[in-house]
Structure 1
């Protein structure tokens, strides 16, 4: 099993997960609430993250995710919904501030 590292800012927490794990697994790796997950289905926007490194390591966003991010005013290509991501390589993300 290959292990990948997810660094979450602003805390600087480093979480190790098996490759292909959904980012929702972060909740089970630490008692801290590092990413504020809500619905887990990509429809509430609670878990918006800004990808600082390793954008392609989180898989490709689908059209629905991109449309919803645009509705939230998160355009520019570096934001994702964490609940829709799977960790395929090392990545660094920052929990987005509410807009």
Structure 2
């Protein structure tokens, strides 16, 4: 997220709910089904707090060149605990 912005969402919320908490979109969501790559985020802290990564998401992230394991598709995440993410510039 932009420096200094903290968003609180209820546990279990999809990360897409973040758009209802701010006046301007912070994460660009496109298809919302994990197929477009618009919402790639780098997880700086709390990777395990964003739920399980399924094989299709992992494969797609690899296709996008995000192979080091610190990236997620925000549209595929459910917030289970605290996490810090940074939007990846396309």
Measured against the shorter chain, the TM-score band is: over 0.9
Segments of structure 2 that go 5 or more residues without pairing to the other structure are none
Tell me the C-alpha RMSD between the 2 structures. 0.8
Q: TM-score, normalised by structure 2?
A: 0.96
Task: Report what 1:89 is aligned to.
Answer: 81
Distance in 2 between residues matched to 1:16 and 1:94, nearest whole Å: 16
Aligned length: 90
Task: Report what 1:61 is aligned to.
Answer: 53
Segments of structure 1 that go 5 or more residues without pairing to the other structure are 1-7
Q: TM-score, normalised by structure 1?
A: 0.88
Deviating above 3 A after TM superposition, structure 1's stretches of 4 or more consecutive aligned residues are: none
- Is the strand fraction higher in 1 or 2? 1
